[in-house]
Homo-oligomer: A and B are copies of this chain.
Amino acid sequence: MPRLVAERSDILPKLAETFRTRGYEGASLAHIGKATGLGKGSLYHFFPGGKAEMAEAVLAEMGAWFENSVFAPLRSIPAGDAAEARARISESCRAVERYFASGRRVCLFAVFALSETRSLFEKQVRDYFRNWVEALARALVVAGRGPAAARTEAFDAVATIQGAIVLARAASDERVFAGALARIEARLLG
């Protein structure tokens, strides 16, 4: 039996894809096994906690990606450097567009937030959105907004992004996501 996978993290992308497309309940071990090419034995070797641990690992990886690629850059802008803040906000919009594949790819945190799975991953889901809103609000403050306005604008921007994913999928038209994101960016910078 040749080894196919060296590390747990090698199969996380395919795991994430399966949870995204089928949801937590809908992703059966059979689906996961087929998607990853691994049997139950290997799956339970890597994730002794079963499906719950798989989903947790996927959320952790998604969270880490956003932390590194979106939240941290927004949070760490030097105070007073409004030009840099605007540049980082623009960059974060591009990173978001890339990650969600222009609305074709779903946000797993949103899927979990809308389902009863929420209770299983409540903390991860809450922290993800809180971190996003707070990081963006911080960047807006550096860009010159008042604290209260920055907070509500950040909230609305994140909410609109999430809703745009829903509407883009509903319409099966990814252009509407790109358009919405462009308007969000303009509003954040304007």
A interface list, Cβ under 8 A from B: 21-26, 106, 109-111, 113-118, 122, 125-126, 128-130, 133, 152, 155-156, 158-167, 169-172, 176, 179-180, 183
Contact = CB atoms under 8 A, between A and B. Distances in A.
B155 A167 contact: yes
The count of identical subunits is 2
Nearest to A164: B159
A28 to B, nearest CB: 9
A47 to B, nearest CB: 20
Contacts of A180: 155-156, 159
A7 B99 CA distance: 47
A159 B180 CA distance: 9
A166 to B, nearest CB: 5
A163 B158 CA distance: 7
Given A128-B170, A171-B126, A21 B159 contact: no
Nearest to A24: B26
Given A158-B163, A159-B180, A183-B156, A170 B126 contact: yes
A183 to B, nearest CB: 6
- Nearest first, the 3 A-B pairs at minimum CB distance are A159-B163, A163-B163, A162-B163
A172 to B, nearest CB: 7
